[in-house]
């Protein structure tokens, strides 16, 4: 890492000769500090991600809009063409709309169907967290990663909330953010492919595929209900009110969980028209989710953690394989399809997994319930576990 500049001293005085010497003219050829990408450029990037999704959909790629936009964002970031995160308004809107979409799937019948698997669901959630913490402990034994950074980087779920509390828990924020979003990127890339493979194998074996997720036809059909204007107004109200309520209640990832809870209440009441994003609007939401994950993988980030990348990837593979094993046990105990169990237990991120569940016609209500429960538990218990395991050890420095 480059050495930091010396601190400014306010007691230094200029020499007499310095005051009379002519000052050099400012150099206009120096590169300026990078500014946020303009709105027009991001509009082109989002349009490009959507076009890539259309092409991927034509070739039958699973979760086409999510995967293609993730790859587009990663390529642009690694090439240095994009140095900024997704604009905050677009990121907030995508999280709120994903939350509303999740809440719309949690119907009374879906919740009742998930009630009999509550006990194995709780066991699987606790085992997933325990597995992640155990792997993080072994990762920290090498000495190059502190225990707080390792634990916060490995726990599955609530990436934004986990990164936010990294400073408070004496962890390296950069390493935690990279590890969390690397896991999200890997899961977002592999989960749709695995789900598509398992669904195809099930269909070839004589199984039947569930009905589609309700995507409407036509550019003007953007919500699930027949009254598009009323549905859009309801969706906007759920997103705004849910985001506000999530912040006021201080729930983890408030822009996602808040709208999900409001949408759940609206769905259970049965008094509101169909508001779930569908068709073009749903595709745009998945494009934003994919871009938000992809643009995080910059060359600077990869260079700063290049020596830590192999052990981190090994540990992530262990966690993912362990979660797949838990899904196999979960499916055997509860007699639910393995595809649903795999998507429900795969280690985040919840936005990408939901997109994979919708595209593979899985039981989205079950997937949303399990993933949401684990997200809440992870965000609540991770600080306690991290403080217990840290045992006063300082975080290992992240060197290039």
pLDDT band, residue 3 (cuts 50/70/90): very low
**Backbone dihedral region of 158: left (phi > 0), alpha (psi from -120 to 50 degrees) or beta?**
left
192, 63 contact by CB (below 8 A): yes
Q: Does residue 277 carry a pLDDT above 50?
A: yes
315, 98 Cβ separation under 8 angstroms = no
Helices (H), 79-106: 88-105
Q: DSSP labels for 256-293?
A: HHHHHHHHHHHHHH--S----B-HHHHHHHHHHHHHHH
**pLDDT over threshold 90, residue 224:** no
Answer whether 250's CB lies under 8 Å from 380's CB: no
As given in the structure block, the two tokens for residue 375 are: 């997200």
Mean pLDDT of 37-56: 89
Compute the distance between CA of residue 173 and CA of residue 228 in angstroms, rounded to an integer: 43
Asked whether 390 and 169 are in contact (CB, 8 A), the reply is yes
At 322, is the pLDDT very low, low, confident or very high (cuts 50, 70, 90)?
very high
In angstroms, the CA 340 to CA 199 distance is 10
How sure is the predictor about 204, in pLDDT bands with cuts at 50, 70 and 90? low
User: What is the SS3 assignment for 346?
Assistant: coil
Residue pair 243/237 in contact (Cβ under 8 Å)? The answer is no
pLDDT at 44 over 90: yes
pTM tops 0.85: no
pLDDT over threshold 60, residue 70: yes
Find the mean pLDDT for residues 62-79: 86
Q: Is the pLDDT of residue 395 over 70?
A: no
Q: What pLDDT band is residue 203 in, cutting at 50, 70 and 90? A: low
> Residue 223: what are its φ and ψ, rounded to 5°?
-130, 165
Mean residue pLDDT of the chain comes to 78
Whether 399 shows a pLDDT value over 60: the answer reads no
- Helical spans, DSSP H, in 117-253: 118-140, 147-154, 159-164, 173-204, 228-249
Listed range (25-39, 44-58, 344-358, 364-378) with the worst mean pLDDT: 25-39
pLDDT in tens, 170-195: 888 778 878 887 888 888 778 777 77
Q: How confident is the model at residue 248 (pLDDT cuts 50, 70, 90)?
A: very high
Once rounded to an integer, what is the mean pLDDT over residues 265-279?
Answer: 85
Question: What integer pLDDT is reported at residue 176 of this predicted model?
Answer: 84
39: pLDDT strictly greater than 60: yes
Coil, strand or helix at 51: helix
Q: What is the CB neighbour count within 10 angstroms for residue 45?
A: 21
pLDDT classification of 17: cutoffs 50, 70, 90: very low
> Are the C-beta atoms of residues 261 and 238 closer than 8 Å to each other?
no
Q: Residue 106: is its pLDDT beyond 60? A: yes
Triad 236, 239, 242: Cα angle to 5°? 140
Report DSSP state, residue 169: T
Can you give the pLDDT at residue 391? Answer: 56
- Asked whether the predicted pLDDT for residue 46 surpasses 90, the reply is yes
What's the pLDDT band for 29 if we cut at 50, 70, 90?
Answer: very low
State the sign of the Cα–Cα–Cα–Cα dihedral 283, 285, 291, 294: negative
**Confidence category of residue 161, pLDDT binned at 50, 70, 90:** low
pLDDT of 381 over the 90 cut: no
Least confident of 1-5, 52-56, 246-250, 358-362: 1-5
Residue 242, pLDDT > 90, answer yes
Cβ-based neighbours of 276, under 8 Å, separated by 6 or more: 100, 101, 104, 105, 214, 223, 224, 235
Q: Compute the distance between CA of residue 283 and CA of residue 50 in angstroms, rounded to an integer.
A: 8
Close Cβ partners of 36 (under 8 Å, ≥ 6 residues apart): 84, 87
Assess whether pLDDT exceeds 70 at residue 312: yes
Task: Tell me the C-alpha distance between 264 and 271, whole Å.
Answer: 12
Q: How many angstroms separate the CA atoms of 241 and 75, rounded?
A: 36
| pLDDT tops 50 at residue 5 | no
Tell me what pLDDT residue 262 has. 92
Average pLDDT over residues 59-71: 82
- Helix, strand, coil tally for the chain in percent (to 5): 65, 0, 30
pLDDT at residue 124 tops 80: yes
């Amino acid at each position: 890492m480059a050495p930091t500049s010396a601190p400014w001293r306010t007691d230094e005085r200029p020499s007499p000769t310095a005051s009379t010497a002519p000052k050099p003219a400012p150099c206009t050829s120096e590169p300026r500090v990078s500014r946020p990408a303009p709105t027009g450029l991001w509009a082109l990037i989002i349009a490009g991600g959507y076009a890539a999704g259309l092409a991927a959909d034509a070739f039958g790629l699973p979760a086409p809009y999510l995967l293609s936009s993730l790859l587009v964002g990663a390529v642009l970031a690694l090439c240095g063409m994009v140095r900024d995160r997704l604009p905050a308004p677009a990121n907030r809107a995508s999280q709120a709309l994903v939350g509303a979409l999740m809440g719309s799937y949690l119907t009374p019948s879906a919740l009742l169907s998930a009630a009999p698997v509550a006990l194995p669901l709780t066991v699987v959630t606790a085992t997933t967290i325990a597995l992640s913490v155990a792997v993080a402990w072994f990762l920290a034994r090498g000495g190059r990663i502190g225990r707080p950074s390792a634990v916060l980087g490995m726990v599955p779920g609530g990436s934004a909330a986990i990164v936010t509390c990294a400073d408070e828990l004496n962890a390296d924020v950069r390493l935690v953010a990279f590890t969390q979003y690397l896991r999200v990127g890997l899961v977002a890339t592999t989960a749709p492919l695995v789900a598509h493979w398992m669904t195809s194998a099930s269909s070839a074996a004589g199984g039947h595929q569930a009905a589609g997720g309700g995507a409407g036809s036509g550019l003007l059909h953007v919500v699930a209900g027949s009254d598009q204007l009323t549905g859009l107004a309801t969706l906007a109200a759920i997103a705004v009110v849910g985001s506000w309520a999530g912040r006021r209640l201080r729930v983890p990832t408030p822009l996602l969980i808040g709208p999900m809870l409001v949408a759940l209440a609206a769905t259970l009441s049965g008094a509101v028209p169909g508001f779930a994003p569908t068709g073009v609007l749903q595709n745009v939401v998945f494009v934003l989710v994919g871009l938000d994950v992809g643009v995080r993988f910059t060359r600077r980030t990869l260079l700063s953690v290049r020596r830590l990348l192999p052990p981190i990837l090994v540990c992530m593979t262990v966690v993912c394989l362990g979660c797949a094993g838990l899904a196999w046990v979960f499916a055997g105990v509860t007699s639910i399809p393995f595809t649903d169990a795999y998507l429900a237990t795969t280690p985040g991120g919840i936005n990408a997994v939901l997109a994979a569940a919708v595209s593979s016609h899985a039981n989205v209500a079950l997937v949303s319930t399990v993933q949401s429960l684990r997200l809440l538990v992870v965000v609540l218990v991770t600080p306690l576990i991290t403080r217990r395991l840290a045992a006063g050890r300082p975080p290992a420095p992240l060197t290039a």
